[in-house]
Amino acid sequence: MCGINGFNWKDEYIIEKMNSSLRHRGPDDEGIYVDEEVSLGHLRLSIIDLSENGHQPMSDRQDKFFIIYNGEVYNFQALREELELLGYSFKSNTDTEVILYSYMQWKERCLEKFNGMFAFAVYDSESKRLFLARDRMGIKPLYYYFDEKNEVFLFSSEIPPLLEHKIDIEPNKKLIKDYLLYNVSDHTDETFFGGIKKIPKGCYATFDLMRCELEIKEWYNIKYNERFAGTYEEAISTFRDLMVDSVDIRLISDVPVGTCLSGGIDSSSIACLINRKMKIKTFSAVYNGYERDESRYISIVAEKTGMANYRVHPTAEKLREDLFKIIKLIGEPFPSASIYAQNCVQKLAKGNDVTVVLDGQGADELLAGYHYFLGFYLVDLLKTLRLKRFASECYNLIKGKEYMIGIQSSLYLLLPIFIREQIFLRESLLSREMMNGSVATTEYFKNFSDCRSLGQSLEFHLKYRLEQLLKWEDRNSMGNQTESRVPFLDYRIIEFISGLPDDFIIREGRTKALLRDAMIDIVPSEILKRRDKIGYETPDAYWLKTEDFEKLLSDWFLRGEPLCREYIDLKKLRHQIKEHIHKNKNHARNLWKAIFLEAWLKTFFPNRNRM
The CB density around residue 85, as the number of other CB atoms within 10 Å, is 8
CB 70 within 8 A of CB 2: yes
Q: Could you give phi then psi for residue 124, rounded to 5 degrees?
A: -95, 105
Instruction: Classify the phi-psi angles of 370: left when phi > 0, otherwise alpha if psi is within -120 to 50, otherwise beta.
Output: beta
Active site residue 2: yes
In sequence order, what are the residues at sequence separation of 6 or more whose Cβ sits closer than 8 angstroms to the Cβ of residue 512? 265, 363, 367, 368, 369, 505
* Furthest C-alpha separation in the chain: 73
CA distance linking residue 128 with residue 125, whole number of Å: 5
C-alpha dist (Å) from residue 60 to 63, 111, 133: 5, 18, 19
66: which strand partners? Answer: 59, 123
CA distance linking residue 360 with residue 535, whole number of Å: 10
Helix/strand/coil (H/E/C) assignment for every residue in 304-359: HHCCCEEEECCCHHHHHHHHHHHHHHHCCCCCCCHHHHHHHHHHHHHHCCCCEEEC
CA distance linking residue 222 with residue 496, whole number of Å: 11
Query: Of 2, 272, 451, 564, which one is the catalytic site residue?
Result: 2
CA distance linking residue 202 with residue 221, whole number of Å: 7
Characterize the bridge pairing of strands 281-285 and 257-260.
parallel
Q: Is residue 559 classed exposed, middle or buried when 0-12, 13-18 and 19+ CB atoms within 10 A define those classes?
A: exposed
Q: Could you give phi then psi for residue 204, rounded to 5 degrees?
A: -130, 160
Sign of the dihedral defined by the CA atoms of residues 81, 486, 378, 516, in that order? positive
Helix/strand/coil (H/E/C) assignment for every residue in 545-560: CCHHHHHHHHHHHHCC
For residue 69, give the DSSP letter: E
68: which strand partners? Answer: 121
In sequence order, what are the residues at sequence separation of 6 or more whose Cβ sits closer than 8 angstroms to the Cβ of residue 600? 192, 327, 332, 333
Strand spans (E) along 233-312:
257-260, 281-285, 309-312
CB 202 within 8 A of CB 220: yes
CB 416 within 8 A of CB 449: no
CA distance linking residue 260 with residue 346, whole number of Å: 8
C-alpha dist (Å) from residue 569 to 192, 385, 541: 19, 44, 21
- Report the run of H or E that residue 434 belongs to, with start and end: helix 432-435
Distance from CA of residue 568 to its chain's centroid?
A: 26
Nearest to 599 by CA among 19, 287, 312, 192: 192
Q: Which residues of 474-484 are buried (b: 16+ CB within 10 A; e: fewer)?
A: bbbbbbbbbbb
Active site residues: 2
